[in-house]
Amino acid sequence: MNDASIIGLFWERSENAIKETDIKYGKLCNRLANNILNNISDAEECVNDSYLTVWNSIPDARPNNFSAFLCRIVKNLSFKKLEYLTAQKRKPEILISLNELNDCISSSANTEMSYDTAELSKIISIFLRKQNETHRNIFLRRYWYYDSVKNIAADYGFKEEKVSNILFNIRKKLKKHLETEGYYI
């Protein structure tokens, strides 16, 4: 079933909307939540809460990109759950992943030009579309889905060092691209 049909089911308030969402995106959502929480039952709880959040959100909005809309909700709820479970201490792998991007994207006061989140997201999206598909997917798996370098390497048949080098080079290019676009670190 395509995304427009699933969104239509939500608009109709059909219970099949959640079933079809789970069929199409359940594995993706569970993997994303589990990458953040590292606990299958907590991840399942967040995914179910995400489906309820989508159920409550769809009548007011019709998302252009349903999978991104859903994944953003899963990520937000997973981080809230993680914060609750660890009393402000994030899982080390996620901290490492977020810290890797610190050199490219800084929210510090020394930023000369201020972009809102939507503008920065647009600039990063444009940059990523210019990268080859493998590099773009590796970047997204690391910084959007929080996959470990080890898992990414295994899935692509690369050594961990190669994945780390690809990520380093993409971050370096991203930093240069952001500077070119007027986003100064």
The domains located in the chain, with CATH, are 3-86 (1.10.1740.10), 92-180 (1.10.10.10)
pLDDT tens profile 47-96? 999 999 999 888 676 788 898 899 989 999 998 888 877 755 545 555 55
**What is the average pLDDT across 173-177?**
89
Per-residue model confidence (pLDDT) at position 179: 79
This prediction has a pTM of 0.62
pLDDT tens digit sequence for 131-155: 999 999 999 889 888 888 999 999 9
Tokens of 176: 């240069």
